[in-house]
Copies of this chain bind each other. A is one copy, B any other.
Amino acid sequence: MDFLGSIVFLCLFSMGFCQESMNINHLDPDLLPRPLIIEFSESRLKNMSDDIAIHCTSWRVAVEANNLSPWKTIPKECADYVKDYMLGRSYNVDLEKVSKESGIYAKSLQLKGDGMDAWVFDIDETLISNLPYYSDHGYGSEFFNNVQFDKWILEGAAPAIKPSLKLYEEVLSLGLKIILLTGRNENKRNVTITNLKHAGYHKWDKLILRQNDREKSAAAFKSEKRKEITEEGFRILGNSGDQWSDLVGTSMATRSFKLSNPMYHIP
């Protein structure tokens, strides 16, 4: 019986031990402190990523609401966020929204029909996209390199921003004059025309590029040009641009539309 008793004890002991091992392997969060620490870390990680998403969305909305001072690169911690935004559905949904809103407004206009009703479009990140370039340059997390960017521009390969092409076609079919006003330098005129045509933009009344007057802000340059346009008799009823410097200043359009761009800022 003593021997039998020992065997039974051993059996029960191993079963108990086995049970305890299983508990450890399960890492029951209600029983052991270790899983609670793991849970805490995981929850911190989750919160961290929530924090980043909230912080970077807040930053992006501040960009779109024109609340920020001039900035040279996107915040470091938002590099992945901006990449996800640009490559995911959100950027395109935003572009479609602004195109749709602009179209509704354009169609609501009572045009005078004297050929002086006009819509101003910016070019880069408004009609055509440099996303292929920026995808090779950190989506705005690298400092702007104008030599490399010029190389890309000279390829003339920037694709159309499809929702903007749709708006352009609507605006054109309504009988508004199209005025293209860009910060691109005059020496890029030919490649810009080639690129625009290749992307599906075939008609415009004016294509205004910039002389070598870089001491002036883009907002000042574009205000000045809008003034000249209105002095010619044009009524600028709409203006589309991805930079606030495309839209604000003087001789502003009756309505301006800000296309999303969290990758770079031009004052």
Give residues in A with beta carbon < 8 Å to B: 54-55, 57-62, 64-69, 89-90, 93-94, 97-98, 101-102, 104-105, 256-258, 260
Instruction: Give the distance in Å from the alpha carbon of A102 to the alpha carbon of B98 in the complex.
Output: 27
Q: Which residues of B contact A60 (CB under 8 A)?
A: 61
Return the chain B residue nearest A51 by Cβ. Answer: B89
Known: A57-B90, A62-B94. 18 other contacts (CB 8 A): A54-B90, A57-B57, A58-B94, A58-B97, A60-B61, A61-B64, A61-B94, A61-B260, A64-B64, A64-B65, A65-B258, A65-B260, A66-B256, A66-B258, A67-B98, A67-B257, A69-B101, A69-B105
Contacts of A101 in B (CB 8 A): 62, 67-69
Alpha-carbon gap, A67 to B57, bound state (A): 18
- The answer to whether A258 touches B57, judged by C-beta atoms less than 8 angstroms apart, is no
**Interface core residue of A55, A61, A64, A90 (most chain B CB under 10 Å):** A61
Contact between A62 and B97 (Cβ–Cβ < 8 Å)?
yes
A-B contact pairs, 21 of them (CB 8 A): A54-B89, A54-B90, A55-B93, A57-B57, A58-B93, A58-B94, A58-B97, A60-B61, A61-B64, A61-B260, A62-B94, A62-B98, A64-B64, A64-B65, A65-B98, A66-B256, A67-B101, A67-B102, A67-B257, A67-B258, A69-B105
Q: From DSSP, what is the main secondary structure of chain A's interface residues? A: helix
- Docked Cα-Cα span, A149 to B69, in Å, equals 36
**Nearest residue in B to A260 (C-beta to C-beta)?**
B61
- The docked-state distance in angstroms from the alpha carbon of A90 to that of B62 is 12
Determine how close the nearest CB of chain B comes to the CB of A104; give it in whole angstroms: 7
Task: Kindly provide the distance from the CB of A121 to the nearest chain B CB, expressed in whole angstroms.
Answer: 15
**Which residue of the partner chain B has the closest CB to A98?**
B67
Contact at A93–B62, with CB atoms within 8 Å?
A: no
When A62-B98, A69-B104 are in contact, do A54 and B258 touch as well, CB less than 8 Å? no
- Name the residue of chain B whose CB is nearest to the CB of A257: B67
Q: Which of chain B's residues has its CB closest to A95's CB?
A: B58
Expressed in whole angstroms, the minimum distance between the Cβ of A63 and any Cβ of chain B is 9
Contacting residues, chain B, for A67 (C-beta < 8 A): 97-98, 101-102, 257-258
How far, in Å, is A247 (CB) from chain B's closest CB? 9
Contact present for B104 and A54 (CB under 8 Å): no
Which B residues are in CB contact (< 8 Å) with A97? Answer: 58-59, 62, 67
